[in-house]
Amino acid sequence: MLKLLGARQLGSRDVPDVLRALSADPVASCMVAARVEEFGVDPRAFQGELWSRGRPTSSLCFSGANLVPLCGGHDDIRAFAERVSRAPRMCSSVVGRSELTLPLWDLLEPEWGPAREVRPNQPLLATSCASAIPPDPHVRPVRPDELEPYLIAAVAMFIEEVGVDPCANDGGRGYRRRVSNLIAAGRAWARFEDGDVVFKAEVGSMSRTVGQIQGVWVHPDRRGAGLGAAGTAAVTDAVVASGRTASLYVNSFNTPARRAYERVGFEQVATFATVLLH
């Protein structure tokens, strides 16, 4: 790969510029902004690194469990690819704005080999208004003592959406810990019927201005009854009531979900792409 002005790892002195860069694109950068706001950029707490070829306001990439290009031109993307190729791959996916993610993957694929799946067209949706439809009054934050039934639904959603079992590598300890932390933070929502989860969703990332909804799932036996739209409306209203913009991204081919989110009041603000790695 052709060498050029390299991407450097950012440090504490860069935090003001990083925050400015993230605030310029708050919906698309929510996942990273939430981490920076909570931990700064210390890799030990941040669980990743931020890179730039110059000023973070024009060149920025996050490298951690996910590889997330945030802004930059062609030379920046090449520099990010060159830097991440120097060491063994740590990320499980490349995700972000499609106009950044897909060119980055084009450079990485010869180094890393074929992806497990490429999802090139994922509308990134957002709303700052209360839901346009009545929220499901039975959708509520999950209690810590409800971890076990919620975890069953969360694992089923993950396998259906991502295509792998999140419990495969470590017996589920890591995924269980993540779900438990979301419940403890009041960011896991569900509708229970007879002790079982029939709708679930989480606010996976929450920055000062945006809450990103993820993991929306309806039990297969209850699909087609409007639970997805009404449940998402309940979670959306909670995010908006906190003073934040609610956002999520969805696969372009998932027509039922796109219709449900449109009913809630979400509008497309950008297009994401996700590359799922082996």
Query: Residue 42: what pLDDT?
Result: 86
4 torsion bin: left (phi>0), alpha (psi -120 to 50), beta (else): beta
Q: For residues 10 and 48, give the distance between their C-alpha atoms in angstroms, rounded to a whole number.
A: 11
- Predicted pLDDT at 1: 42
pLDDT < 50 regions, the chain: 1-3
Q: Is-contact 37 256, C-beta < 8 A?
A: no
pLDDT given at position 43? 83
pLDDT at position 2: 43
Among 261, 139, 248, 255, smallest CA distance to 200 is for: 139
d(CA 143, CA 86): 44
Residue 4 has a pLDDT of 57
